[in-house]
Amino acid sequence: MATREVADEVLPARERIMAAAIEGLTTLDPAALAIQRICDRSGVKPPTLYYHFGSKDGLVAAAVESLVAGWIRQLDESIDRGGTLADTLDQAVAAWQAMITSPQRPFAVFIWVSMWSAESREALVQAREHAQKLIHDEIAVHIGPARGSDDLAGLILDGVLGAAVDYQLDSDIPALRRRLTTLTTLIRLSTALGADPS
């Protein structure tokens, strides 16, 4: 507790509020995102929260953006850009599995907050577009620009999200690994065919 108190004294109010909101998001409990609960955890009064974020929806959207940025950075940094397609796909499967099984449950948070507000949905749409671009760019490195490669990247991302939902339902790590590996097989087959769906 002493460490938390010292951290609270050192961190600016905005960062403490953001940390409390992120902590609340990862519980998937609406009560954890009540204004007073966030204020209590961050050691501020409600006017301070409203000053920095404008509203609860604004705070949730900012927390989602922060979480998303961290997860995308983690995914981006886990891929060695100099490797072969097989290396890249193996690294992607490991990164996706780590994110899906993380105690913070990023994909569960994504689904949960998508129903909160237009601001939260917009943050998730931007995250999806960024993640799809990362996948597209990695495919393009190995096969060059190909017709349909953006659609392939979207399909792969949909598969990752589907695997995440299945994992939330069954908590079966071997099944998750199998689903993600099947996605990489799809990429291998598609790139061998030039990623042209027609």
- The residue extents of the domains of the chain are 1-54, 64-192
Pick the CATH number of 64-192 from 1.10.10.10, 3.30.1370.100, 3.30.70.270, 1.10.357.10: 1.10.357.10
pLDDT of residue 38: 96
Local confidence pLDDT in tens for the 198 residues of the chain: 433 443 445 579 999 999 999 999 888 888 998 999 999 999 999 999 999 999 988 898 888 888 878 877 887 788 777 777 778 778 888 888 888 888 777 777 777 777 766 777 777 787 778 878 887 887 777 777 666 777 888 888 888 888 988 998 888 999 999 999 998 888 777 766 654 443
pLDDT in the model for residue 26: 84
- pLDDT score at 146: 66
pLDDT at 197: 41
Q: What's the 3-state SS for the chain? A: CHHHHHHHHHCCHHHHHHHHHHHHHHHCCHHHHCHHHHHHHHCCCHHHHHHHHCCHHHHHHHHHHHHHHHHHHHHHHCCCCCCCHHHHHHHHHHHHHHHHHCCCCHHHHHHHHCCCCHHHHHHHHHHHHHHHHHHHHHHHHHHCCCCCHHHHHHHHHHHHHHHHHHHHHHCCHHHHHHHHHHHHHHHHHHHHCCCCCC
pLDDT for 86: 78
Note the pLDDT of residue 8: 47
* Residue 194: per-residue pLDDT: 56
